Amino acid sequence: MDLGRFVFAGFFAAFLLLQTYIPQGEDTRLSDLLAQRQNLYNCLNTSSTELSPDCLLAADILTQIPQSVQSSFKDIWNIEERSAKTSGVFFQDVTGLYRGKWLLEDRSLPQLQLYSPKNTSSRESNSTFLPSPENIERAAHMRAKTSRRERNITISEGNLYADIKSTPSAIGPAVLTVELSFYTYDWDLVVVFQLEGIYLNDGNALLTTTSSQFSGFLMIPYLLKMHDPSDELFNLSKSLVLESYTNSTNRIKNGTDSPSVIFDEAIRTLYNLPCEVMAALHFWSLPLSQSSLGSIEAELQTPLGRPHPPTPDVELSFSLYSPNCGYKVYSRENTGQLLQVHWAITSIHTACYCFCILCELFLLFRQISSANTPSSLTRLSFWSMCSLTLSDGVISLLFIVLSMADTPTYLVLISAGFLSFVAVWLTGLRYAAYIYRAQAFEFLASVSSITDLRDADPDAFPPATQTRPEESDATRVDIRTIYSWFDYAIMILLLFCVISFLWPITFRWLSLSAVWTLGTSFWVPQIYRNLIRGYRRSFRWDFIIGMSCLKLVPLCYLWMLPQNEIVFDYFPKTVMVLAGYVWLQVAVLAFQDFIEPRFGLKSKKFTNPYDYHPILHTTDIETGLLRQIPDSVVANDKLKLDCVICMQTLEIPLIEPGNTSLPTLINKRAYSVTPCKHAFHSACLEHWMKRRLQCPTCRSPLPIA
């Protein structure tokens, strides 16, 4: 095992160890966190409907909320009363992903003063779960420092992404945990809010943030009482809040939550964060009957293949208000999919990519079957083959990593990872290694030693018994070296792409555009090899066209589909430019194949390859250009002779000297003339040379075309 593989194995083992290690210890050592939660629970667990400012932080802001904010919340909750499409049918479980637009309505609202605890740094905790007070204080300070810039909205509008998780309860309403991410229209992150609240059966929801200066979640029953003064809703919401609060406390005591969750909980509840917010949400009713909705929800919860109407998208509207930062945000048109629908669409998209991988394997097997001899492998570019497999290698590694998550898409993700693994490491990269080995040595005579056709001496060619020289140790290529470098390149490229998501949108676009430009330059090395070596035919044309189309599929999915499951940036113009760049490379390959590899280019650096398609002039008959001249017939400016490979008549047009028109250059591709002055059909000789680099007539060695 080389040093690189040893280091990689060590890092991977350490990663697994850190992921599986769960520290053990007594839960009662979370003194500060659990004590505060218990005090808040005891304070709220009273029969009084009056808000006690002694136990709930920032309780006095309920009387200071501006009337415009209260009206905005009521408008959101009653928004369907002004709409004709209301049906009164709502999803009970609204867990899903939602996207839309947001608008900053008002920035001139009064900034209310919130409670701020003192001597927070003196809190002590010797829990193995909770970090030291110094680390918590440092983390809280850093989060607060960045939050004042990120959590205070300063631009007027942009894109919105909401991740909503609904936890059902036995008493009716559900507890919502929402992550609201505000972006600019260029997908620069502006702010992320973590909110928690209650989802009622009528499609309305109330969410708040919670910290050491704002007991938002515990104040929800009193906030709802402002909207509905009845005691029924107050008691129902208070019971739900107490149940959720008790469950989360028990999870901390029992060690069910991970250390990172407890760490975030400690920072959130023991320290203050700027810009606390509260939000009123409304999920629009569905154009379904209650029975149809029941069949859809039953199939989503327990998939058995039962027939049901198509699952509609969910529309969401909300109004968000920050009491201490003094701004209000409104969002009307947000659509989303339930989480089960999201996983189903992800599985379908992944299955489509599996089909693309199968198409790549089909094209690759056809290419391998048609070009597997040293003479045919010499024409191919090793770097082009590596570039074609590099993108699949990155996607394969990504699928394998994603399949480790406990999601319903595990089976289809691991299938896609396995197919990509077969297409890359067992097929594509192995074929690239064979190309490398075939080009590591040249056992044929140098093409530069072959003189011009008209000056060649027929008796100057080597005998037909010439054998291939033995491979030396220096020319033997270890395939493991190629695999190692390829693995390192994939890991570096994957890490670069992941890190680029942390950069601003401009730098991210520039970096990923550079990566995609290099990734779509897979035919450039082949064009360069054709130019330097003078080769005309390289890969199969169905392979070139098919791979060019299939390699653009991931790029089109990520940058041209706004509703893709990865929430990637939207750059359709960049995709069109890169697609045009790919097809420009294909056009150059076609020009090199059908016209001339070096058409219009002259340089002393180019080797002088042998031209199997010379233009035969009428004067060449007198100079004895072809050995078959005595057996040929000249009629209508055409030389007719027999092709010894297919035993059919071969017609060679005779051109007047000086005629170099485009039809003349194209017509000369129909025949081939060997250095030993024998003529054949081009297709016949190409098929012959795939198996044997000897003249079919005299067995003289032939240079690679």
Question: Parallel, antiparallel, or unpaired: how do β-strands 157-167 and 96-106 relate?
Answer: antiparallel
Number of domains in the chain: 3
Q: What is the structure's pLDDT at 588?
A: 92
> CA 685, 690, 695, 699: dihedral to nearest 10 degrees?
-160
Number of CB atoms found within 10 A of residue 208's CB? 23
Q: What is the percentage of the chain residues whose pLDDT exceeds 90?
A: 13
Q: Indicate if 588 and 628 belong to the same structural domain.
A: no
Q: Name 536's Cβ contacts closer than 8 Å, sequence gap at least 6.
A: 530, 592, 593, 596, 597, 705
φ, ψ for residue 65 (rounded to 5)?
A: -65, 130
Give a yes or no: residue 613 inside a domain: no
* 635 vs 646: CA distance, rounded Å: 22
Q: Is the pLDDT of residue 128 over 90?
A: no
The number of helices, as runs of H, and strands, as runs of E, in the chain is 21, 13
Give a yes or no: residue 7 inside a domain: no
Q: Indicate if 225 and 337 belong to the same structural domain.
A: yes
* 161 vs 564: CA distance, rounded Å: 13
Q: What is the structure's pLDDT at 352?
A: 92
- What are the tens digits of pLDDT across the range 360-381? 999 999 999 988 877 788 889 9
Q: Name the β-bridge partners of 586.
A: none
Reading the block at residue 292, the tokens are: 């149809």
- What are the tens digits of pLDDT across the range 94-126? 999 998 899 988 888 888 877 554 444 333 333
**Segment among 340-349, 386-395, 479-488, 581-590 with least mean pLDDT:** 479-488
495 contacts 557 by C-beta, under 8 angstroms: no
Number of CB atoms found within 10 A of residue 119's CB? 6
Give a yes or no: residue 528 inside a domain: yes
Angle, helix 290-301 to helix 339-370, in steps of 10 degrees: 50
Reading the block at residue 285, the tokens are: 């009713």
Q: Indicate if 644 and 526 belong to the same structural domain.
A: no
Band (355; pLDDT cuts 50, 70, 90):
very high
Q: Indicate if 598 and 624 belong to the same structural domain.
A: no
Examine the fold and report which residue of 566, 583, 607 is the final residue of a domain before the chain moves on.
607
* 569 vs 572: CA distance, rounded Å: 9
Strand order in the sheet with 633-635: 633-635, 638-642, 649-653
Q: Indicate if 147 and 92 belong to the same structural domain.
A: yes
C-alpha pair distances (Å), 413 with each of 303, 350, 407: 19, 7, 10
Q: Indicate if 653 and 538 belong to the same structural domain.
A: no
Read off the pTM: 0.71
Give a yes or no: residue 15 inside a domain: no
C-alpha pair distances (Å), 62 with each of 27, 109, 323: 35, 15, 10
Examine the fold and report which residue of 607, 627, 643 is the final residue of a domain before the chain moves on.
607
Judged by DSSP in three states, 633 sits in: strand
Q: What is the structure's pLDDT at 586?
A: 94
φ, ψ for residue 315 (rounded to 5)?
A: -100, 140
- What are the tens digits of pLDDT across the range 317-327? 999 998 888 88
CA angle, 401 then 404 then 406, to 5°: 140
Judged by DSSP in three states, 595 sits in: coil
Burial class (CB in 10 A: 0-12, 13-18, 19+), 668: buried
Q: Indicate if 569 and 661 belong to the same structural domain.
A: no
Q: Indicate if 330 and 228 belong to the same structural domain.
A: yes
Identify the helix (H) or strand (E) that includes residue 77. Answer: helix 67-77
486 contacts 393 by C-beta, under 8 angstroms: yes
Say which residue the tokens 């250095």 belong to: 675
Q: Name 449's Cβ contacts closer than 8 Å, sequence gap at least 6.
A: none
Q: Is the pLDDT of residue 151 over 50?
A: yes
Reading the block at residue 476, the tokens are: 């033997």
Examine the fold and report which residue of 283, 309, 343 is the final residue of a domain before the chain moves on.
343
Q: Which amino acid is at 689?
A: M
* Pairwise pLDDT comparison (518 vs 85), residue with the higher score: 518
Say which residue the tokens 């082009």 belong to: 384
Q: Is the pLDDT of residue 548 over 90?
A: yes
Give a yes or no: residue 540 inside a domain: yes
Identify the helix (H) or strand (E) that includes residue 244. Answer: helix 231-254
Task: List the domain range (segments joined by +) for residue 179.
Answer: 26-343
Q: Name the β-bridge partners of 208.
A: 196, 278
* 671 vs 257: CA distance, rounded Å: 76
CA quadruple 415, 420, 423, 424: dihedral sign: negative
Identify the helix (H) or strand (E) that includes residue 336. Answer: strand 327-338
Rounded to the nearest integer, the mean pLDDT of the chain is 75
Give a yes or no: residue 19 inside a domain: no
Q: Indicate if 161 and 265 belong to the same structural domain.
A: yes
Number of CB atoms found within 10 A of residue 561's CB? 14
- What are the tens digits of pLDDT across the range 171-223? 778 889 899 888 887 777 778 888 988 998 788 899 988 776 777 787 888 88
- What are the tens digits of pLDDT across the range 390-444? 988 888 888 888 888 777 888 899 999 999 999 988 899 889 988 888 887 543 4
Q: What is the DSSP string of 642-682?
A: E-TTT--EEEEE-B-TT---HHHHHHGGGEEE-TTS-EEEH
Which of 472, 297, 477, 498 has the alpha carbon at shortest distance from 397? 498
Q: What is the structure's pLDDT at 455?
A: 45
Q: Indicate if 557 and 679 belong to the same structural domain.
A: no
C-alpha pair distances (Å), 321 with each of 318, 384, 526: 10, 55, 59
Q: Indicate if 535 and 682 belong to the same structural domain.
A: no
Give a yes or no: residue 253 inside a domain: yes
610 contacts 450 by C-beta, under 8 angstroms: yes
Reading the block at residue 534, the tokens are: 């003078």
* 482 vs 430: CA distance, rounded Å: 9
Which of 205, 179, 222 has the alpha carbon at shortest distance from 281? 205
Q: Indicate if 567 and 670 belong to the same structural domain.
A: no
Give a yes or no: residue 465 inside a domain: no
Q: Is the pLDDT of residue 29 over 70?
A: no
Return left, alpha or beta for 255; rule: phi > 0 is left, psi -120 to 50 is alpha, else beta: left
